[in-house]
Structure 1
Amino acid sequence: MRPLSGTDRTHPQPTDPSCCNFQIFALPAIRLPNAFPPSGGDFDVAASEKRLQAIETEISRPGAWDKPEALTPVLQEKRQLEDEVGRLNRLKICHDDMNEWLALASESEDPEALESLANQQKELAALLDETELVMLLSAEEDNQDAILEIHPGAGGTESQDWAEMLLRMYNRWAANHGYKVEEMDFLPGDEAGIKSVTLRIAGPHAFGFLKGERGIHRLIRISPFDSSGRRHTSFASVDVIPDAGDDIELDIKEADLRVDIFRSSGPGGQSVNTTSSAVRITHIPTGISAQCQNEKSQHHNKETAMRVLRARLYNMEIEKRDAARQAQYAGKDAIAFGSQIRTYTLQPYRLVKDHRTGTEVGDVDAVLDGHIDAFQHDYLLYRHEQQR
């Protein structure tokens, strides 16, 4: 996952030579090892390939696929290892190519050699940036799938429309990276937009990349719903928790659960289901609850609500372990001015700014089209520095 390219960001780009501690044309300043470390450092390619072989043996044995759900964590590990090995191999190839061009450029001032060296430098910088990003996703839950919820703030149609814009942004982000999106719960707005939505986003490090999206998102624009053409400010809350799949063990007693059944409702509170199919499950000891009314089947809604509840209880345990995350989460209570993590300004100028990291991107359309990698990368760096 590479940061958004271009000149929009206010801090140095990874393709800037200064980010790699050398200048293209100041050849003596370049410092690269003559041989790539065979162990791969933090990414031990030999160990990863050995583990991949073991997984292939495991999933190829007779009867291994009799219970496909039992293989889910193994296949997830396989996919992650394949990504790591592929990334390290690309780094090695790029590193070796750059050493060759460096030797050629050192012997002459051939413009073609210098241009090739510059291109190799940019490619290596991008690969190092991508590798650094994955190395920052070191928490156990970072490789889990993510459950993402969006709720509009005060403001009726304005904020509900903004919530739908965020929904599109995250759907596009997931599509850009080949992640699978499952709509677990959806409640449409009264006139436009949405009142709430819950998504499950599945893919490598889905939660790790999305956890920095948790907070209040603010939009400033000329309202399409205001005939006077006035500027409006809208808010929406984004919550992200790791999906506690079947491989995560949680001690949840049946006696500690209260299940409420009610009728689902649509725009304007009108009944959209003549039977009571919506389900809310409450964990009595903690007061944590989850509900679903997306399906006509009460059974399916109960399964979905239970999955979200498990994820919330899992996240609660993570928060207990991680005091820094708990402090961040406590700051997301009020959907109002002053509590936002990111502002999307469409009028009177165009800019998206993250208030935690200071990251700014001028191409607002690209951001709303799902290109939020720059914000994710810088948030992970920011979080890493905060925890040092």
Structure 2
Amino acid sequence: MRAEIEAIANDINQSLELLRRHLDWDNALRRLDELNARSENPDLWNDAAAAQKLMRERTHLEQSVSTVRSIERDRDDFLGLIELGEMEDDQTVVVDAEEGLRALRERAGKMELESLLSDEADSNDCYIEVHAGAGGTEAQDWAEILLRMYMRWAEQHGYKVVWLEENAGEEAGLKSATLQITGHNAYGWLKTESGVHRLVRISPFDSAARRHTSFSSVWVYPVIDDSIDIQINESDCRIDTFRASGAGGQHINKTDSAIRITHIPTGIVVSCQADRSQHRNRAMAWDMLRARMYEAELQKREAVAQAEADAKTEIGWGRQIRSYVLQPYQMVKDLRTGVETSDTQGVLDGDLDPFMAASLAARIQGGVGGQTETE
């Protein structure tokens, strides 16, 4: 057991070393001292935009430094408890401390991966669009299940979720919907979720209880702020006002204030019906369009995300990134990384971290490769 504990401690130490290196530790501490001093200057808020930028940098740096110190402290505490428990032959203390050390290794590994989210938009909030594929009610129900899955994931990670737009299915589910996820690194974590998601199950809408295959697409793009200049010619856009067509409830309003903007040269379409105010919905829709245009530019420069045209192709075989099989067996498998689990209900309840971590790691190491569907 001692060799295993040493191996776990070494893994934690390696993660800490990478975290320190990524932060440029000594310079990070000096910069934090500087930001703390500047934040106490009463004239700071004379320039609100500059002050907010400084406070965001300070908060992020403070959290990063605190995380490293917390992992170091917990590592030393757990190792000390293990040593004490072995000296006093108290196996309860030893076992509890070993479990804590293993959990700390997972935490350190996750923080190490998160520290690599260094693309220019990774720290931003994001939008998630879900679109049902062909297949009517079955596919529309799957789209709603996917949306719930992402909402659960976001809530579990302390992110704020705002429902912006929905287009309800005729009998059940959703034809499409858009959420905004707000929180640090929301886009960085979710960006690899873009693609087609495939479901195999016994359809609850089939009286013959036959197995059905359904597809829905997910599209993730970053919220951008005013510091990123995206020029859009309004004459290239068509703006439509319509009555919200969703299921209602707390998610949408029922007035004629919903806004749809179509950017004609690219075919990008965004909609917003989150507010009863047409003016606010219009402003949000323009923000969404700017974000989509910016994300398209990121794709061109980075050549790591899917091409814009992928979102316009048929949602079906050949483009899926993940397969969710509920019948005749239970399995969720990522077709890019090979990560799989039999805990299908856990995944649909938002347990997506293993899939996201593997996709991000593969992307950072040189890109996510595609796999051929074998189901």
TM-score bin, normalised by smaller chain: 0.7 to 0.9
Alignment-derived partner of residue 328 in structure 2: 348
Match of 2:245 among 266, 269, 280: 266
Distance 1:113 1:316, change over 3 A: same
Alignment-derived partner of residue 108 in structure 2: 128
Distance of 1:331 and 1:282 partners within structure 2: 15
Please tell me whether the aligned partners of residues 130 and 178 of structure 2 are also in contact (alpha carbons under 8 angstroms).
yes
Deviation at 1:204, TM superposition (A): 0.9
Matched, 1:194 2:168: no
Deviation at 1:43, TM superposition (A): 2.8
Please tell me whether the aligned partners of residues 86 and 94 of structure 2 are also in contact (alpha carbons under 8 angstroms).
no
Q: Cα deviations across residues 216-253 of structure 1 (Å, max 9, x unaligned)?
A: 11111111111111111111110001111223222334
Deviation at 1:361, TM superposition (A): 1.5
The TM-score with structure 1 as length reference comes to 0.79
Distance of 2:138 and 2:57 partners within structure 1: 42
Distance of 1:257 and 1:74 partners within structure 2: 36
Distance of 1:26 and 1:59 partners within structure 2: 42
SS of residue in 2 equivalent to 1:142? coil
Please tell me whether the aligned partners of residues 73 and 247 of structure 1 are also in contact (alpha carbons under 8 angstroms).
no
Deviation at 1:294, TM superposition (A): 4.4
Match of 1:288 among 264, 268, 275: 268
AA partner of residue 302 (structure 1): R
SS of residue in 1 equivalent to 2:327? coil
Q: Cα deviations across residues 174-225 of structure 1 (Å, max 9, x unaligned)?
A: 1101101111212222111111111110101000100111111111111111
Distance 1:387 1:232, change over 3 A: closer
Alignment-derived partner of residue 132 in structure 2: 152
Distance 1:148 1:73, change over 3 A: farther
Bigger relative CO (Cα 8 Å, ≥ 6 apart): 1
Match of 1:371 among 335, 351, 359: 351
The TM-score with structure 2 as length reference comes to 0.82
Please tell me whether the aligned partners of residues 320 and 326 of structure 1 are also in contact (alpha carbons under 8 angstroms).
no
Alignment-derived partner of residue 232 in structure 1: 212
Matched, 1:324 2:304: yes
Please tell me whether the aligned partners of residues 215 and 341 of structure 1 are also in contact (alpha carbons under 8 angstroms).
yes
Please tell me whether the aligned partners of residues 82 and 98 of structure 2 are also in contact (alpha carbons under 8 angstroms).
no
AA partner of residue 157 (structure 1): T
Please tell me whether the aligned partners of residues 331 and 339 of structure 1 are also in contact (alpha carbons under 8 angstroms).
no
Deviation at 1:387, TM superposition (A): 4.1
Distance of 1:190 and 1:31 partners within structure 2: 52
Match of 2:117 among 137, 140, 146: 137
Distance of 2:11 and 2:122 partners within structure 1: 33
Match of 1:175 among 155, 171, 175: 155
SS of residue in 2 equivalent to 1:252? coil
AA partner of residue 261 (structure 1): D
Overall identity of the aligned pairs, in %: 41
Q: Please identify, of 177-186 and 51-60, the stretch whose mean Cα deviation from structure 2 is larger.
A: 51-60
Q: Cα deviations across residues 117-149 of structure 1 (Å, max 9, x unaligned)?
A: 633541341132122221231211111111110
Match of 1:163 among 132, 143, 147: 143
Q: Please identify, of 80-89 and 109-118, the stretch whose mean Cα deviation from structure 2 is larger.
A: 109-118
RMSD: 3.5
Distance of 2:262 and 2:141 partners within structure 1: 29
Q: Cα deviations across residues 283-320 of structure 1 (Å, max 9, x unaligned)?
A: 45544342334444331221121011010111011112
Distance 1:286 1:162, change over 3 A: closer
Distance 1:104 1:251, change over 3 A: same
Alignment-derived partner of residue 249 in structure 1: 229
Matched, 1:24 2:4: yes
Distance 1:168 1:30, change over 3 A: closer
Please tell me whether the aligned partners of residues 12 and 104 of structure 2 are also in contact (alpha carbons under 8 angstroms).
no
Distance of 1:246 and 1:237 partners within structure 2: 29
Alignment-derived partner of residue 223 in structure 1: 203
- Structure 1 unaligned segments of length 5 or more: list them: 1-16
Deviation at 1:260, TM superposition (A): 2.2
Match of 1:42 among 18, 22, 29: 22
Q: How many equivalent residue pairs?
A: 360
Distance 1:237 1:292, change over 3 A: same
Deviation at 1:382, TM superposition (A): 1.5
Matched, 1:306 2:286: yes
Deviation at 1:368, TM superposition (A): 0.9
Distance of 1:286 and 1:119 partners within structure 2: 53
Distance 1:42 1:70, change over 3 A: closer
AA partner of residue 122 (structure 2): D
Distance of 2:305 and 2:331 partners within structure 1: 28
Matched, 1:207 2:187: yes
Distance of 1:45 and 1:30 partners within structure 2: 20
